[in-house]
Structure 1
Amino acid sequence: MTTIDAPRAPHTPAVKRRRVNWEKWGWLYMRLSGVVLVVLIFGHLFVNLFLGQGVKAIDFAFVAGKWASPFWIVWDTLMLWLALIHGGNGMRTIINDYAHGRLRIVLLTLVAVAVVALIVLGTLVLTTFDPCPAGAPANLVPSFCPAK
């Protein structure tokens, strides 16, 4: 007679391999990044819309003045990275739920490429932004730049 193990009996495979549980880490990332993003986004909106003169005051000079401070560069970079990875992870979850086979691999690759490209481009903009580049023609630089 064959006996069946109890449903809650510990399973002991022949070769025990410890693998990273990517779904658990993705789930945990979504929760933690979501909390941090709420703080970053509402802080961003509060400073940009409520402390000044509202949306009508947001122009090139406002952004240039804000990005003159390393604090705001770090704030916006962190918001960019967390939001893009959070969104990419959400898309990965949706693709895993609804796509199968080769289509799944293609879609996951496209999402990964888009997230990486946007992170690289956004980070380059945030870290290399200079509203008054040296040697630029006077008619192409904003009026608040010193004469060169």
Structure 2
Amino acid sequence: MATTLDSPRSPYARPTGKRGTNWEKWGWIYMRGSGVVLIVLIFGHLFVNLMIGKGVDALNFGFVAGKLASPFWQWWDVAMLWLALIHGGNGMRTIVNDYATQRVTRGIFKWAILAAVVILIVLGTLVVFTFDPCPAGSPADLLPKFCPAI
């Protein structure tokens, strides 16, 4: 017995024969690819932070400062940050497309999601690459114990 499916009800369905980039297809592919890479990055992050060494007891400011002093971990964290934020933003965009019925409301929500993702990516990247646990000129009583006395 053959079963036929109705055409999608989405007002964003691509008319057949239209040329150009299919952004929905590339968004779908990105979600699958970034999801796989995020699984590796997140479980690697958890393994290093929780399983190697003393476990949760070792997580403190010094541990994080030591990790962020390494370019490898800086890039690992930035890749995780970027992929997770873009992945989440794309998922939120899909939800807005599915449930926001008014064109103006949909546009406002999508611009707000884009603004939040861009701001968080910029701020997070700046934090990772400019982090200095021992800033020059800080009072000695406010610095961590591992900072050299200046």
TM-score category by the smaller chain?
0.7 to 0.9
> Separation in 1 of the partners of 2:106 and 2:55?
43
Number of the residue aligned with 1:35: 36
Measured after TM superposition, the shift of residue 99 of structure 1 is 0.5
Structure with bigger gyration radius? 1
> Separation in 1 of the partners of 2:16 and 2:84?
40
Unaligned runs of 5+ in 1: 1-10
Number of the residue aligned with 2:121: 119
SS of equivalent residue, structure 1 residue 142: coil
Q: Deviation digits for residues 6-63 of structure 1, max 9, x if unmatched?
A: xxxxx996xxx63111001100000000000000000000000000222221110000
> Separation in 1 of the partners of 2:123 and 2:52?
29
Identity level (%): 69
Number of the residue aligned with 2:61: 60
Kindly report the root-mean-square deviation, in angstroms, between the aligned alpha carbons of the 2 structures.
Answer: 1.5
Number of the residue aligned with 1:141: 143
Q: Deviation digits for residues 72-106 of structure 1, max 9, x if unmatched?
A: 00000000000000000000001001102211111
> Separation in 1 of the partners of 2:27 and 2:33?
10
Measured after TM superposition, the shift of residue 139 of structure 1 is 1.1
> Separation in 2 of the partners of 1:44 and 1:52?
13
**TM-score with structure 1 setting the length:** 0.87
Q: CA distance change for structure 1 residues 32 and 137 in 2, over 3 Å: closer, same or farther?
A: same
**TM-score with structure 2 setting the length:** 0.86
Number of the residue aligned with 1:109: 111
Measured after TM superposition, the shift of residue 125 of structure 1 is 0.3
SS of equivalent residue, structure 1 residue 147: coil
> Separation in 2 of the partners of 1:46 and 1:111?
31
Measured after TM superposition, the shift of residue 119 of structure 1 is 0.4
> Separation in 2 of the partners of 1:18 and 1:138?
64
